[in-house]
Amino acid sequence: MTYQQILIIDFGGQYNQLIARRVRECGVYCEILPYKKATVEEVRRRAPAGIIFTGGPASVYLETSPHIDGEIFGLGIPILGICYGAQLMAYTLGGRVATAPKSEYGKTATEFEDSVMFKDVPKKGITWMSHTDYIAEPPKGFKITSHTAVCPVAAMENDERKLYAVQFHPEVNHTEHGTDMIKNFLVSACSCSCDWSMGSYAETAINSIREKVGDGKVLLALSGGVDSSVLAALLAKAVGSQLTAIFVDHGFMRKNEGDEVEAAFKDWDINFVRVNAADRFLARLEGISDPETKRKRIGEEFIKVFEDEARKIGRVDFLAQGTIYPDIIESGAGDAAVIKSHHNVGGLPEHVDFKEIIEPLRLLFKDEVRALGNTLGLSPKLVYRPPFPGPGLAIRIIGEITREKLEILRDADAIFREELEKDGIARNINQYFAVLTNNRSVGVMGDGRTYDYTLALRAVTTTDFMTADFAEIPYPLLGRIAARIVGEVKGINRVVYDVTTKPPATIEWE
């Protein structure tokens, strides 16, 4: 089945993924394309139902700024320009863009006129502005449909040519009725039917995988994280026993996590291989305290274990990876900075001869991956588990790793997670975990002196994991958690809560 598609052309905007998220929330599929790749030929080839230009930090009247072939406005495809995208539309079509007498940042009182974009939207509202330049004069044939006290062209349109532009950001939550505005563009201007969903995506993906794989064999390195677990479930539906999923348990998983992963897939029609390699990994980390060295040694050993198991399988036709859309974007596109290199293929066993890599999740965001997991019937414990770093608890223990420390941290972390989940607050926190510090302090239990470890609790709220705030867990709940940990976990006599934002801290401690 072919779905209507919206093409989001990225000019370096910080909200490009958020625009895509809003479009998909409206039931329309979309993809992001860097402006340098958005040639007229490429746009024609994709034949989108509509196009959205993102914002960006540049000034359109500078030669070094991102621009686009003006022919794109003559293709008859509806276009919505947002912020820089709005200014680019005005500048390219003969309007005038200049430095605004007064910049606008944050929540701004805005007035709206009759427009396709503002159908059923109140005439006055709050929008989110973030601009230094502004549209001083709209191009010929455009009418002004919105303004603020200092911005004469907060929105404009040429409905005959299906061209629309807004200076503000309708994709952010701070803009009142912003999603309604985007949906108006999708439905009224682009004639989208809004019939895209994760259920239909799953059906399409399963059929596509079957067609590509045929009677071949698929190999998946299953980490137990959300992405690889959902991918395993999707592949199981598509090719069943042709899939071999290798789950390497390095001994640094959370309490009962290895058993939970195994249990989740025991009834699936796949070849599930669990490798209990804790002894190998602990031996590699003996005497190691430096976090970077820990990461490197764990990564190296993982490859060796995976290589040993892959050798037993023999010929493999396809290698499956749980790459998701943010991985691709964060790897750098166009002039965008590389946030996090995407190198899932690095270090793969040389003797595994596969035709190609398949990445069925590569066009999905994390929340969409979770939705797909629910659609496929995957255990909620796997679908909604907090993100977990590849090295696991090894980088949540400060200093050298020992079996004793691992057991202490597993038990304490389990109590923390259990209490947050029981209270119902866990779904509102994006990441939460315990850290076993290398600090010991004096305590009193009963009539005796103790000299045990200090445990740190970390919980944050974030949308992109690039910045984060500490979660405001109620004091009574923190008190109950601390009391349980100190009372039930031998080796801990003090619990602290990390109230540092990112930046200046990172989310993880190591």
Examine the residue annotation and report whether 171 is marked as an active-site residue of this protein: yes
The one-letter amino acid code at 450 reads: T
- Strand segments, DSSP code E, in 173-234 are 218-222
Does residue 478 contact residue 425 with C-beta atoms inside 8 Å? Answer: no
Examine the residue annotation and report whether 169 is marked as an active-site residue of this protein: yes
List C-alpha distances in Å: 158 to 140, 166, 221, 447, 449.
9, 12, 51, 81, 78
Examine the residue annotation and report whether 113 is marked as an active-site residue of this protein: no
Which entry of 131, 151, 157, 171 is annotated as an active-site residue?
Answer: 171
Structure token pair of residue 246: 């290798």
Torsion from C-alpha of 49, 53, 54, 57, nearest 10 degrees: 170
How many other β-carbons are positioned within 10 Å of the β-carbon of residue 381? 15
Torsion from C-alpha of 168, 174, 180, 183, nearest 10 degrees: 60
Which entry of 26, 83, 151, 190 is annotated as an active-site residue?
Answer: 83
Which entry of 169, 177, 250, 342 is annotated as an active-site residue?
Answer: 169
SS3 at position 465: coil
Measured CA to CA, the distance from residue 158 to residue 78 in angstroms comes to 10
List C-alpha distances in Å: 469 to 352, 387, 500, 508.
43, 16, 7, 13
Which secondary structure element, helix H or strand E, spans residue 87, and what is its range? helix 84-92
Q: CA quadruple 414, 455, 450, 287: dihedral positive or negative?
A: positive
Question: What is Dmax (Cα atoms) for the chain?
Answer: 86
Measured CA to CA, the distance from residue 427 to residue 429 in angstroms comes to 6
Which secondary structure element, helix H or strand E, spans residue 434, and what is its range? strand 431-445
- Strand segments, DSSP code E, in 289-389 are 318-320, 356-358
* First CA to last CA distance, the chain: 46
Residue 491: DSSP 8-state: T
Measured CA to CA, the distance from residue 1 to residue 393 in angstroms comes to 43
Catalytic sites, residue numbers: 83, 169, 171
